[in-house]
Amino acid sequence: MSPQTTIQHHSAYSRTARVIHWSMALLILSTIPVGFLMVQEGLARSLQNALFIYHKNVGVLLLVLIAVRIAYRFAVPPPPLPDQMPAWQAKAAGLSHIALYALMLIMPVAGYIRVKAGGFPIETLDALGIGSPVTRSDEIAEIAKTVHYYGALALTAVVALHIFAAAHHGLIRRDGIFSRMWSPKDSAGG
């Protein structure tokens, strides 16, 4: 049995964890460029509006998904890292996952506060009649905007690092780390 098969068999993430992970990955990888693009000058107003609507509403969906993901992670802890992984890589993986989770929570919260404190709609929530606990405040909106902007830069960097590490394990080392989350075969149900 190859090391990759052994790792995959003993420590693959569950189907539920993989679905949440890849759903969030696709949404995050779409909202990052949309977020940077939507604030560029010279865009047609209709395009800019569509980008803002997409970004705000996907942000709400991501906030729900990260709450589900955190709850699921506490209920079903991730599989342990393989024993043969160097300690520094295990530490780096742990720190990068903490950063990812923190930023995945901070970003939609800061975005929500920025939008609502700025007096703007979040169309899905407004259509559902969900009120806002955030009061109108230009000062709060500006602070949240700054947090969201720098959070976006940090999230972009951490996501890039995460993708690089996954590609390194999946394409270069071929040590089974990547297949723990990718595995199209459901070796770990639930």
Rounded to an integer, what distance in angstroms lies between the CA atom of residue 141 and that of residue 143? 6
Range 66-88 average pLDDT: 93
Contacts of residue 104, defined as CB under 8 A and 6 or more positions apart, other chains included, come to 24, 28, 62, 66, 69, 155
Looking at the domain 3-182, which fold is it? Fumarate Reductase Cytochrome B subunit (1.20.950)
Q: What percent of the chain is modeled with pLDDT above 70?
A: 91
Structure tokens at 55: 């970004």
Range 117-121 average pLDDT: 97
Global pTM reads 0.88
Is it the case that residue 1 has pLDDT exceeding 60? no
Q: How do residues 139-185 score in pLDDT, each as one tens digit?
A: 999 999 999 999 999 999 999 999 999 999 999 988 889 999 987 66
